[in-house]
Amino acid sequence: MIVVADAHLGQVPPAVGTAFHAFLEEIPQSGDHLVLTGDLFDFWFEYQSVIPRKHFATVAKLQAVRARGVRITFVGGNHDRWGGSFFTQDLGIEFFGGEANLDLGGRRAFIAHGDGLTEQHWSGALMHRVLRHPVTVAVFRVLHPTIGFWIADLFSRHLADNTKDRAVLDRAAAAQRRWAADFLGRRPDVQLVIMAHTHRPVVDRLPDGRAYLNPGAFLDGGRYAVITPDAVELKQFTTERLQPA
């Protein structure tokens, strides 16, 4: 199982997108399971017949991964949880707008992007509530896509500015680890908790073999994680080995 999150494509330098496309070409192999745990895109909203044009190249790469026989599960984050039938029907990707409970390599896993659980600033908590509210989604859906994507770009920049304070993210990451430990304590049937959002890679292993995983942010040097029946490991993808000698 391969877990990756927080690439924020569309709001990061083009080199991040190039690296992620190379990652999709090289890492997931036939029979693998690729799990995207949110904020792959800086913004995604699926209208009935329109998708964000700037993400077409990434969508094509995901389709190619599916064609190789790789299962893909997408758990949306605070930037991209408004997917739907385009992912499930057109691409054959399992899509969850919120939380997911899956079997990963023989492990019962609880997966959530993590936003709204351990926010350290009132604006983050408020944004979480507003963006998830059905009225917000319904109002946005009646906007013309050009207007909607323009508004979304402004919000994406604001959310990106909120993640520049490393102290806030460090506090959120610590709170996230405590939340996961408490969840595992209450749910002995769950062997693995996976979250993202704080951009802090970590594997916390309990004495009984259960674990909490945050794969880190792909935008931070190609971070991802691999899950096997015997291990949960943090990895880093680089394109250096793809360059000609």
**pLDDT above 80: residue 77:** yes
| 3 state DSSP class of 9 | strand
User: pLDDT band at 212, cuts 50/70/90?
Assistant: very high
Task: Give the residue with greater pLDDT, 226 vs 127.
Answer: 226
CB 128 within 8 A of CB 117: no
Tokens of 189: 């049937």
**pLDDT above 80: residue 233:** yes
Of the candidates 180, 177, 210, which has an alpha carbon nearest to the alpha carbon of residue 192? Answer: 210
Least confident of 7-11, 114-118, 129-133, 188-192: 129-133
CB 25 within 8 A of CB 171: no
Share of the chain above pLDDT 70, in %: 82
**pLDDT above 90: residue 148:** no
Please name each of the domains of the chain with its CATH number: 2-242 (3.60.21)
Q: Read off the pTM.
A: 0.85
The single-letter DSSP state of residue 41 is B
Sheet strands (E) in 122-210: 192-194, 202-205
